[in-house]
Homo-oligomer: A and B are copies of this chain.
Amino acid sequence: MNELSQKNLKKKITLLLFHLVYFSSNNVSDLCVSQEFLRGRPKEIPHNEKLLSLKFESLDYDNIENQLFLDEERRMSYMGFRCLEISRWVICALIGFLTGLIACFIDIVVEQVAKVKYNVIKENIETFTEAGGLSISLILWAVLNCSFVIVGAILVAFFEPIAAGSGIPQIKCYLNGVKIPRVVRLKTLVVKVCGVICSVVGGLAVGKEGPMIHSGGVVAAGVSQGRSTSLKRDFKIFEYFRRDTEKRDFVSAGAAAGVSAAFGAPVGGVLFSLEEGASFWNQMLTWRIFFASMISTFTLNFVLSVYHKKPGELSNPGLINFGRFESDVNTSITCFTLFGRVQAELLLCLMSAVLFCRYVHRPCLQVMEATLVAAVTAAVSFTMIYFSNDCQPLAPDNTEVYQLQLFCADGEYNSMATAFFNTPEKSVTSLFHDQPGTYNPLTLGLFTLTYFFLACWTYGLAVSAGVFIPSLLIGAAWGRLCGILLASIFSSSSTWADPGKYALIGAAAQLGGIVRMTLSLTVILVEATGNVTYGLPIMLVLMTSKIVGDYFQEGLYDIHIKLQSVPFLHWEAPATSHWLTAREVMSSPVTCLNKIEKVGTIVDILSNTSTNHNGFPVVVQVMEGDVPAKLCGLILRSQLIVLLKHKVFVELARSRLTQRKLLLKDFRDAYPRFPPIQSIHVSQDERECMMDLTEFMNPTPYTVPQETSLPRVFKLFRALGLRHLVVVDDENRVVGLVSRKDLARYHLGKHGLEELHLAQT
């Protein structure tokens, strides 16, 4: 095992260097495939963007308007709907509140533990600087870092692998309508929170902002259901919301609350949710999301102000705060001069994106890799600080940062240490706000370079960590460097004076190039900056970085999603897909059920692992031959399973008059973890019984004729968040079924429209 991992690591490093040098073909899939090939291990996760995985199921965003549902809705009075509406608002308030609290918890714990850690190391370094045994300090630093990271990595790798990374791609997929297993569970949340604390304290090149978005989503999914399946507690509240449609809305509110807590940007949070997730824009929903975001920022603000012993001082929202920027900058000049630079920035982003491709999948290897990264990070940081001779005079008031004197004269500190020997958030703020001359160009250049490679290597480790802060940090360092250089070239003009502003613009460009959001990121950055005057340059830079970046490669999250082979539906069908019609796209033949069907047939169909369908058109009568039958409804696997579990058979209903009628509640209780068909025992006698599906099927599924073009099918599917779309002929007979995978298969490649292959993994 040990040998294998060593071999792996060696190969990995070779590859890394190889691809850095021969960076001509920046194609993720090629890189991944070659890695797979070199390693010679069997594929565990289909790391291939040319495939579309079949293991991901869709969520049911379309309400199943069957008899039971309609009866319930019709029974409900206007007051009932008002109460529901009020409980939605209450839930949003709770989501915001809890998300804010979690953010506080992470922030306070990280700050306290990091303080202890850095103080211990600082004392140690100060002791050994004079005594002359700094290697002991290095070892202490590395050991401390590694121990934190090991804990975090073990938690993630062994307990909940889905908690790795920032969780933003997963939330994005969820909001798009893909059911990523275990993504909104309580366990994931706990592991995520502990993991992110460990990895930030462990000194990795990561941030704690990204995971907040995932945490918010989990909180939302938990609160809105009024129960926890993990804890086996059901509070018997909010039962109405136990379906995918409602849950999705709350998860988008949770994600917004997460952004809002992380950056102190409530409007940015709403826009994030809408830009990344929701396709159907509903005014009321937006307001609820906005409400959740506001509550979240407010809670965080309030608790932190109490913690910092200034209760009521709410002017510093968010986990990361860019500090106050002076607004007397001549922004127009700043932004135009940066246009050229953005391109260089973007090439770097590309590299980061490409290198973010991981291939270690065994838990213990993952833990070892994380530990190694932590140790290397500490070693590199230490080396950089050790060999740096950029000494700066101590500012008297700057007590928040840990300033290392090291070999500098008394009353001076090591400038490189400000960047490395700090939590990344504080380094960012320091790069934005420190006086001109605080960093010399060499320090910044070296820092950018090393941190860039560290961030690349760190991304995708089995730890909970975000990519926002490292991107901001790299961008800020780059930006400041450019600012200093420009200032030295145009030394006559005073507008070039403050390199902190270049740092801000550089950070925006870097982050924009990596995540490729424009509207929401603009608002987030403006809200974090606290000064609207910077809006225009930030916008211009983000728009440019988006346009330039898209020319080369997709954004990081999209690459991540593609690597996972998730059937993700984009906003529109590929432009040149008009020549495809529903007839070509649909899956056919379709497994149909009769309105009154034999139990045995249903069990056999559900147990058939080779097809594993989830939606079944219900037809009036299946003919003997190949003649299709008239559509009269649609029923889901999950519904059939509940029906089988409760043995809702026609014969039983006739014989036992007292039998309880199946209610919507029974479906809700089973939601969302419906048992597999194997766990339901159906005796041989029961197999001969009949089941009447009339009451439970959706009698009005959406249909399209066979001649409908793919863009039209796509629009219907995307706008309504469908899971199944029945294709019928001109006599309303079922001829096919379109599902998410059928649509996600088509994408625009280099040679026009390409079709992805479907894989069972």
A123 at the interface (CB under 8 A from B): no
Q: Which of chain B's residues have a CB closer than 8 A to the CB of A730?
A: 620, 630-632, 732
With both beta carbons as reference points, the residue of chain B lying nearest to A543 in the complex is identified as B291
Q: Is the CB of A314 within 8 A of B331?
A: yes
Q: Which of chain B's residues have a CB closer than 8 A to the CB of A199?
A: none
A298 vs B529: C-alpha distance when bound (angstroms): 20
Distance in angstroms from A268 CB to nearest chain B CB is 9
Q: Which of chain B's residues have a CB closer than 8 A to the CB of A31?
A: none
A-B contact pairs, 27 of them (CB 8 A): A65-B709, A70-B578, A74-B579, A266-B535, A267-B522, A284-B571, A284-B572, A294-B536, A294-B543, A297-B536, A313-B332, A315-B327, A317-B536, A324-B327, A327-B530, A527-B532, A529-B532, A530-B531, A532-B532, A631-B730, A632-B730, A700-B709, A702-B716, A719-B719, A728-B732, A731-B731, A731-B732
A707 vs B540: C-alpha distance when bound (angstroms): 51
Given contacts A81-B575, A576-B77, contact A704 B715 (CB under 8 A): no
Within 8 A of B (CB), among A473-528: 518-519, 522-523, 526-527
Distance in angstroms from A519 CB to nearest chain B CB is 5
Task: Mark each residue of chain A from 258 to 276: 1 if its CB lies under 8 Å from any CB of chain B, else 0.
Answer: 0000000011001100110
Q: Which of chain B's residues have a CB closer than 8 A to the CB of A522?
A: 267
A533 at the interface (CB under 8 A from B): yes
Q: Which of chain B's residues have a CB closer than 8 A to the CB of A647?
A: none
A282 at the interface (CB under 8 A from B): yes
Task: Mark each residue of chain A from 451 to 465: 1 if its CB lies under 8 Å from any CB of chain B, else 0.
Answer: 000000000000000
A280 at the interface (CB under 8 A from B): yes
Q: Is the CB of A519 within 8 A of B700?
A: no
Given contacts A330-B312, A730-B732, contact A294 B76 (CB under 8 A): no
Task: Mark each residue of chain A from 696 to 719: 1 if its CB lies under 8 Å from any CB of chain B, else 0.
Answer: 000110111101110010011001
Distance in angstroms from A708 CB to nearest chain B CB is 4
Q: Is the CB of B530 within 8 A of A532?
A: yes
With both beta carbons as reference points, the residue of chain B lying nearest to A311 in the complex is identified as B332
Q: Is the CB of B578 within 8 A of A539?
A: no
Task: Mark each residue of chain A from 309 to 325: 1 if its CB lies under 8 Å from any CB of chain B, else 0.
Answer: 00011110100000010
Number of this chain's copies in the complex: 2
Q: Is the CB of B279 within 8 A of A281?
A: yes
Q: Is the CB of A715 within 8 A of B720?
A: yes
Q: Is the CB of A571 within 8 A of B282?
A: yes
With both beta carbons as reference points, the residue of chain B lying nearest to A328 in the complex is identified as B315
Within 8 A of B (CB), among A143-194: none
Question: What 9 A-B pairs have minimum CB-CB distances, sorted nearest first?
Answer: A81-B575, A73-B578, A281-B281, A719-B719, A700-B708, A732-B732, A530-B532, A74-B579, A312-B332
Given contacts A294-B536, A531-B532, A720-B716, contact A752 B78 (CB under 8 A): yes
A356 at the interface (CB under 8 A from B): no
Distance in angstroms from A108 CB to nearest chain B CB is 20
A649 at the interface (CB under 8 A from B): no
Interface residues of A (CB under 8 A from B): 63, 65, 70, 73-74, 76-78, 81, 85, 266-267, 270-271, 274-275, 278-284, 286-287, 290-291, 294, 297-298, 301, 312-315, 317, 324, 327, 330-333, 518-519, 522-523, 526-527, 529-533, 535-536, 539-540, 543, 546, 571-572, 575-576, 578-579, 620, 630-632, 699-700, 702-705, 707-709, 712, 715-716, 719-720, 728, 730-732, 748, 752
Q: Which of chain B's residues have a CB closer than 8 A to the CB of A313?
A: 330, 332
Q: Is the CB of A705 within 8 A of B700?
A: yes
Q: Which of chain B's residues have a CB closer than 8 A to the CB of A301?
A: 536
Q: Is the CB of A266 within 8 A of B576?
A: no
Q: Which of chain B's residues have a CB closer than 8 A to the CB of A298?
A: 536
A461 vs B573: C-alpha distance when bound (angstroms): 47
Q: Is the CB of A81 within 8 A of B576?
A: yes
A331 vs B279: C-alpha distance when bound (angstroms): 35
Q: Which of chain B's residues have a CB closer than 8 A to the CB of A314?
A: 331-332, 536
Q: Is the CB of B526 within 8 A of A532?
A: yes
A283 vs B516: C-alpha distance when bound (angstroms): 12
Q: Is the CB of A281 within 8 A of B280?
A: yes
Distance in angstroms from A669 CB to nearest chain B CB is 23
Q: Which of chain B's residues have a CB closer than 8 A to the CB of A519?
A: 267, 270, 286-287, 290
Contact check: which of B78, B291, B530, B728 meets A576 at CB < 8 Å? B78
Q: Which of chain B's residues have a CB closer than 8 A to the CB of A732?
A: 728, 730-732
A280 vs B704: C-alpha distance when bound (angstroms): 20
Counting chain B CB atoms within 10 Å of each CB, the highest count among A73, A283, A530, A728 belongs to A283
- Given A78-B752, A287-B519, A700-B704, 12 additional A-B pairs, CB 8 A: A78-B748, A267-B526, A275-B286, A280-B281, A284-B572, A290-B543, A312-B330, A312-B332, A526-B532, A530-B532, A716-B720, A730-B732
A535 vs B293: C-alpha distance when bound (angstroms): 12
Counting chain B CB atoms within 10 Å of each CB, the highest count among A291, A327, A702 belongs to A702
Q: Which of chain B's residues have a CB closer than 8 A to the CB of A294?
A: 536, 539-540, 543
Given contacts A65-B712, A536-B294, A712-B63, contact A703 B703 (CB under 8 A): yes
